[in-house]
Amino acid sequence: MDRFIIRGGRPLHGDITIGGAKNAALKLLVAGLLTSERLILSNVPRIDDIATMRDLLTQHGMTVEAVNGDDSTLCISGTITNTEAPYDIVSKMRASILVLGPLLARCGKARVSLPGGCAIGTRPVDMHLRGLEALGAEITLENGYINASAPNGLTGDRIALPFASVGATENLMMAATLAKGRTEILNAAREPEMADLAACLNAMGAQITGAGTGHIIIDGVEALHGAEHHIMADRIECGTYACAAAITGGDLRLIGGQAEHLGAVIRTLEEAGVEVSEEDNALRVRRTGPLRGVDIMTEPYPGFPTDMQAQFMTLLSVAEGASMLTETIFENRFMHVPELVRMGARINVHGSSAIIRGVKLLSGAPVMATDLRASFSLILAGLAAQGETTLSRVYHLDRGYEAVERKLAACGAQIERIRE
């Protein structure tokens, strides 16, 4: 398995281009199942999760091709010939569950393996299933698979989610585009990726209003057609590189970063003593003074994102004073703590909260990535540490970040990928 060698202590300066949003692109690829015509997506990130989703769509009979040889622009087309999403693909990535709604809406049936992905919590799919049942689907669980059928098609209904689940909102929104009548999703997830998905679906002929709010209305149509859509910038990648500027005492311009999608992250950075400003089509992030401890609680959007929790824990580990970080979304998302402690961080976990007492300096050490976001939190630690850090199991990182070593090295980081 590949590993990174990082030699810390160098402030980062320069420009980093933010890629297309992983959490939008995966769902937009799935939207290609909803039409028999071509869906062309641009600004697609070149990451392993996209390759996995391409494999899954191909297994359903679709063709996913690069346009003019450019993997950042993909064309999804073809005919669905298989409505089963098998374990060997679905187990690699949790977002695979999102083929369930589109397959059910288009074909009246689907057999989808229960999903995998990062081991950061149980993340049950019951909200997906109850919502689809409300639309008229018949669902059973057997031998690790979800068997769903709707021989008479789906029918709109009013669905109140007990929790503002991103995946359930997306699955139900896509399924409802082809349901008879009106569907309302109450307590819907409000992440910017919801609005991006709805914009693409509407370009395909769907009738969706309210995406990005807690109340989404979908008026079903008989069929969707082809479209072209440019994927939004990745707000989590942007926030992650903002932390890289902050922890190294550097100055980075994050090209394509959108402040409107990063409200809670920017406010927390500024509270910690980091300067953030908008410049043309970029966010400029720099730190000239000491970092200050802050308290953070993860919450559904527009609250502080759980996908930025690990990166900020690393940042706070070298801040002045004490901080408390509380995780409310996933119950198993502190697996990076022992690795940070190996590097000299002072962190104590009490249930869903971590107390972080800042130290002046971290020390390089061999560490191991445990999940996607934790991978980058350990890169951040290595960038700030004295000495050499070896990060293994970086395949987690490759699932969601493109060309990490190239982007960081171009801004002055000493980071090298050792391929094995």
Span 198-214, pLDDT tens digits: 999 999 999 999 999 99
Overall average pLDDT of the 320-330 stretch: 94
What's the pLDDT score for residue 120? 34
Q: How, if at all, do strands 227-230 and 39-42 pair?
A: parallel
Tell me if 23 is assigned to a ligand binding site: yes
pLDDT tens string 213-244: 999 999 999 999 999 999 999 999 999 999 99
Give the Cα separation of 218 and 381 in Å (integer). Answer: 45
Give the Cα separation of 21 and 117 in Å (integer). Answer: 17
Of the pLDDT bands very low, low, confident and very high (cuts 50, 70, 90), residue 1 is confident
Give the Cα separation of 415 and 380 in Å (integer). Answer: 11
Sheet-wide strand order for 62-67:
62-67, 70-78, 39-42, 227-230
First to last CA, the chain: 5
Q: Tokens for 315? A: 């940042």
Mean pLDDT lowest among 81-85, 89-93, 364-368, 400-404: 89-93
Give the Cα separation of 103 and 108 in Å (integer). Answer: 7
Q: How, if at all, do strands 70-78 and 62-67 pair?
A: antiparallel
What's the pLDDT score for residue 116? 54
Percent of the chain with pLDDT over 70: 98
Tell me if 307 is assigned to a ligand binding site: yes
169 to 299, 309, 414: CA distances (angstroms):
16, 23, 41
Q: Tokens for 56? A: 């899954």
pLDDT tens string 370-407: 888 889 999 999 999 999 999 999 998 999 999 999 99
What's the pLDDT score for residue 79? 97
- pLDDT over threshold 60, residue 119: no
Of the pLDDT bands very low, low, confident and very high (cuts 50, 70, 90), residue 122 is very low
73 has which bridge partners? 42
What's the pLDDT score for residue 125? 87
CB–CB of 61/32 below 8 Å?
no
Catalytically annotated residue among 75, 118, 238, 243: 118
Overall average pLDDT of the 36-44 stretch: 98
CB–CB of 350/374 below 8 Å?
no
- pLDDT over threshold 50, residue 117: no
Number of neighbouring beta carbons within 10 Å of residue 326: 16
Tell me if 94 is assigned to a ligand binding site: yes
Q: Which segments of 320-360 does DSSP mark as H helices, in order?
A: 337-342
pTM for the model stands at 0.95
Give the Cα separation of 79 and 385 in Å (integer). Answer: 52
Q: Which residue has the higher pLDDT, 160 or 374?
A: 160
Place of tokens 């059973």: 140
- pLDDT over threshold 80, residue 40: yes
Overall average pLDDT of the 252-280 stretch: 97
Percent of the chain with pLDDT over 90: 90
Give the Cα separation of 36 and 67 in Å (integer). Answer: 18
What's the pLDDT score for residue 118? 40
Overall average pLDDT of the 20-46 stretch: 98
Q: Tokens for 58? A: 């191909």
Whether 118 is catalytic is yes
**In the predicted model, what is the mean pLDDT of the chain?**
95
180 to 135, 153, 221, 263, 404: CA distances (angstroms):
9, 8, 7, 37, 45
Number of neighbouring beta carbons within 10 Å of residue 284: 18
Overall average pLDDT of the 62-89 stretch: 96
